[in-house]
Amino acid sequence: MAIDLTALCRLRPYLYHLTARANLPRIARLRRLDSAAALLVQARRQELLRQRRRAKCEVAIEDEVVLIRDQAPLHQGNMLLDGMTFEDFVAHLNSHVFFWPGREYGPIPHGVRHYERYADETPGILRARTSEVLCANPTAAPGFCRFNSGSPRWNRGRPSPRSANTFSSAGTADFREGAIVEVTFSESVTLPQRTEVADSPYGPWRAF
């Protein structure tokens, strides 16, 4: 079993990303999404790389303030860690950029719930065609996860497993395209020219 990228582009033709509205001008200028780890390194705040963020975090990068999302749902007691410490896994999450897959009318339900969690903060929602994100990042191998990696829950009396293999490559995934909950990239992602932005996952969409 493996992920067929062509099939993924048909089934989930769009990728969605939520960010703080204050971050949009910087993202638009750079045409790039940076992971939390990349932002913390640029801000010279490496001491935060392995610490769970209980609340949103503001850091300064040169003359700009960047807001990094909280990790409040990441509860250690809800995870069964394999081969790594909790701090290791926090750092692992921080090194990725996250997208929710979806169709033209919005992301999958996990992405909608993620938006609803932060709706009171009036975040910005970015979306781009899955095929164009892949083409804009030809040397980056996307990772795939079949659950919300940052919000572990107990299931049938067992904690949710987490490890260095939480994000599978297309070739190593033991699930198919329809089971994908998260699409991730390591460190940074170049945004396609036709990226769009909206105030909600349902639009209306405008050029970014």
pLDDT at 156: 87
In the chain, the percentage of residues whose pLDDT exceeds 70 is 100
- Please name the residues in contact with 117: beta carbons below 8 A apart, sequence gap of 6 or more: none
Q: Is residue 64 within 8 Å of residue 26, measured between CB atoms? A: yes
**Do strands 79-82 and 160-163 pair parallel, antiparallel, or not at all (unpaired)?**
parallel
Rounded distance, CA 22 to CA 42, Å?
A: 17
pLDDT at 155: 87
Residue 36 gets which letter from DSSP?
Answer: H
pLDDT tens-digit profile of 105-141? Answer: 999 999 999 999 999 999 999 999 999 999 999 999 9
DSSP of 45-102:
-GGGTTS--SS-EEEEETTEEEEE---TT--GGGEEEESS-HHHHHHHHHTEEEEEEE
Domain boundaries, the chain: 5-200
CA neighbours closer than 13 Å in the CB half-sphere of residue 118: 24
Residues in the chain where the model's pLDDT stays below 50: none
Q: Assign 9 to helix, strand or coil.
A: helix
